[in-house]
Amino acid sequence: MAEQTKKVALVTGANRGIGLETARQLGKLGITVLVAARELKKAEEAAAELKGEGIDARAVKLDVVSDADIRALVEKIDKDFGRLDILVNNAGIMIDSRVGNQTSKTSPKQLRETFETNLFSVVALTQALLPLVRKSEAGRIVNLTSILASLTLHATKGSPIYDAKTFAYDTSKTALNSFTIHLAHELKGTTIKVNSAHPGWVKTDMGGEGAQMEIVDGAKTSVELATLGADGPNGGFFHLGETLPW
């Protein structure tokens, strides 16, 4: 029988880093969190950690590029809960060289692999789960992008990212921002809100050397957008409450 009392959130790539902290912060708000990871064992370990903190966390297997995993997860959420209130598309990869601007050396293979995870899988998962999000009283979809997705800032001399060019990653996140805009527009007459989140330059494996923000702060934007009230924004690009340029 479907559970109806608490809000239910799915966080992808939630076994570590920003994803795990996002699940933790949502769970501390009394939300049931589905901790998704490519390997079920890692999801179970993360969920056990959160359960030890009094959080209602459930482990789910999800390789975001696997159609079979997506289908199985949709069926499980439908059976167990009958709806999904929050979807945080957190999983992502960066395989670009961080040394200088290597755009002319970025291979089609790098682009395909990056877009497969950072864009195509997000679109596929969101589309598959949307019927369940529509059953929520106030669905929230959060797409984790990056300030590196901003075409405006990339083209502006003196901006914080003007000299930070990782072509495959940056363009995949720019495309994901476009998905946010388009889906938010489609759903503007509903109670669902879709927004893009820049977590900040966070001390994670992806953040690398020089990152300045702690993981606990890197999750705050996602959590804020996942728990927006009815008067909250739709179709925007944010970092800690501030609007970023597309």
Q: Mind telling me the catalytic residues?
A: 169, 173
The candidate with the shortest Cα–Cα distance to 169, out of 235, 124, 103, 237, is 103
Instruction: Tell me whether residue 63 is exposed, middle or buried, using C-beta atoms within 10 angstroms of its C-beta: 0 to 12, 13 to 18, 19 or more.
Output: middle
The DSSP element (H or E) to which 172 belongs, if any, is: helix 167-186
- Contact between residue 214 and residue 192 where contact means Cβ atoms under 8 Å apart: no
DSSP letters, 102-143, are -GGG--HHHHHHHHIIIIIHHHHHHHHHHHHHTTSSS-EEEE
List the Cα angle 221/223/225 in 5-degree steps. 70
- Report residue 5 as tokens: 């009392």
Per DSSP, the three-state class of 210 is coil
Location of structure tokens 């509903």: 190
